[in-house]
Amino acid sequence: MPDTSVIQNTQLIKQKAQEMGFLFVGIAKATQLDEEARKLELWLNKGYHGKMNYMENHFDKRIDPRKLVDGAKSVVSLVYNYHNPALQSDSEAPKISQYAYGKDYHFVIKQKLKDLLAFIQNQIGAVNGRCFVDSAPVMERDWAKRSGVGWVGKHTLLIHPKQGSYFFLAELIIDLELEVDHPIRDYCGTCTRCIDACPTEAISPKGYILDGSKCISYLTIELKDALPKDFSDKMGNWMFGCDICQQVCPWNRFATPHDEPEFLPHPDLLDMTKADWQDITEEVFRKVFKKSAVKRTKFSGLKRNIDFLDTL
């Protein structure tokens, strides 16, 4: 049985995280991910990471959080809602994934994590740790799965039975022993909606494996080269990211709209027409996507995507 201080510290951290707006918090023991390491190695060997060469780096750190934080004992996984059911007013306009409607989540959530770590250090004492938001070699979905905040669905995204999958994942790796949570069961069952709906067949026929090099999100964001011509009839009019596998997932009927002001879209974003996007200038790009995750692809990248869609 965990001692009283471990239980109290765990409850303190979870309560504070939820007060800060995180939907769910789960904790796993910081240890090496052996099974996940084998799967990652196989995935990389098949070239499913495309030209994301950084995925090959720091393999030892990806599979062992103790190499990221000395003496790490706990991985705290946190879930933050970004769901915005509002659609672009012009149904023919190039589409943008809803996670990128507002301010870049890296900045918003990273600050919350820093505040949470500072709270832990202030309330508990000398705790060493690091904050991670999709920006370091951390296998976030595997840790979230281990900590019981959801299961990894057939589309390879994390699903929570009460919230669906429209959320960001973040982690605190700390050298503080906490009470661990346990994985929940997989509720995908025989459903294949995400597999059937993916226009590029990026999801394997049985699910749970994603060929990233075929994913529309990879093609429109990560790929810096010209878009492959053999995808010309498969892009589904997406210019940045893709939500198809989430849109068809039955579990997202439980998704609720976020209440994070930082994630609200620029007033002009959802009302831009197809013609507006075709004629977009760098000045408009900077205005609409100020501090946005879309800046990752830069104006030239977004224009490449829009022009590619125009040839369809």
Closest C-alpha among 182, 177, 170, 173 to residue 134: 170
Catalytic pick among 64, 90, 134, 175: 134
Three-state SS for 116? helix
Three-state SS for 222? helix
Q: In the structure encoding, which two tokens stand for residue 153, read together?
A: 């669905």
Closest C-alpha among 222, 227, 80, 224 to residue 165: 80
Long-range CB contacts (< 8 A, 24+ apart) of 39-47? Answer: 40/139, 43/209, 46/211, 47/213
Q: In the structure encoding, which two tokens stand for residue 89, read together?
A: 């007013």
Residues contacting 175, CB < 8 A, separation 6+: 69, 70, 71, 72, 73, 127, 128, 129
Question: Which amino acid belongs to residue 271?
Answer: D
Residue the block writes with tokens 């994301």: 52
Question: Which amino acid belongs to residue 282?
Answer: E
Q: How many CA atoms lie within 13 A of 283 on its CB side?
A: 1
How far, in Å, CA of 284 to CA of 281, rounded? Answer: 5
Catalytic (active site) residue 276: no
| Start-end of H helices in 92-207 | 105-124, 140-146, 193-197
Are 62 and 139 a contacting pair, CB within 8 Å? yes
Are 226 and 304 a contacting pair, CB within 8 Å? yes
Three-state SS for 48? coil
Where in the sequence numbering do the catalytic residues fall? 134
